[in-house]
Amino acid sequence: MACVHLHCRRAAPKAYRLMIAIAFVMLMPYPVPGAQELPKEAVLPMGLAGKAIQASLDACNKDGYRVSVSVVDRAGVLRAMARADGAGPHTVDSSRKKAYTAVSFRRPTTELAELINKVPTLQSLREMNDQILILGGGLPIEIGGEIVGGIGVGGAPGAHLDDACAQAGLDAIGATPKVPAAK
């Protein structure tokens, strides 16, 4: 039933405008208390992860080493990985675990291995979880003063050689050097 009185015709547009205004206000985004307090974290872009891997593979290949290279994010989750032609199957896991260990402890895995040798009571660090591998070749990826991931190289005939190949990956993406330059 439609209202035929003059006051109903005037009230309908006002009520309609009021409903539209209320709907508009309800749909407007509003600030959530504490939302501006959420932490902001840098993320290692996939392009940089790939560039670091390729540079590490190239450095090892130049010296005749067939390796695997892994890059993990700041939480230790695999971001990217590559295995060179002819690299041993064990190098896949070792490179990933070295990268995980480097980012988890926020330091080069060679440094951790040396520390454990100097302080035998720290041997239990090796058993923290099944992803830890304290063997040279893992470096944290630090860009702009923030650890954004880790890189691990496995398969060169010596931890110092894995370290050098991993450092080539850091150099390629402008990350903070973690291995002293060769003299």
DSSP notation for 137-154? SEEEEEETTEEEEEEEEE
Token pair belonging to 129: 């979880």
- 69 by DSSP, 3-state: which? strand
The tens digit of pLDDT for each residue in 109-160 reads 999 999 999 998 998 888 889 999 999 999 999 999 999 999 999 999 999 9
Burial class of residue 66, CB neighbours in 10 A (0-12, 13-18, 19+):
middle
The tens digit of pLDDT for each residue in 34-73 reads 667 888 889 999 999 999 999 999 999 999 999 999 999 9
CB 152 within 8 A of CB 167: no
Strand duo 146-154 + 78-83: pairing: unpaired
pLDDT at 173: 97
pTM of the entire predicted model? 0.79
CB 157 within 8 A of CB 59: no
What CA–CA distance (Å, rounded) separates 128 from 109?
A: 15
- Tell me which residue has tokens 């974290």: 41
- 72 by DSSP, 3-state: which? strand
What CA–CA distance (Å, rounded) separates 112 from 70?
A: 19
Q: Is the pLDDT of residue 106 over 80?
A: yes
Token pair belonging to 145: 């003063």
- Measuring CA to CA, how many Å separate 20 from each of 17, 26, 31, 77? 5, 10, 22, 48
What CA–CA distance (Å, rounded) separates 53 from 68?
A: 9
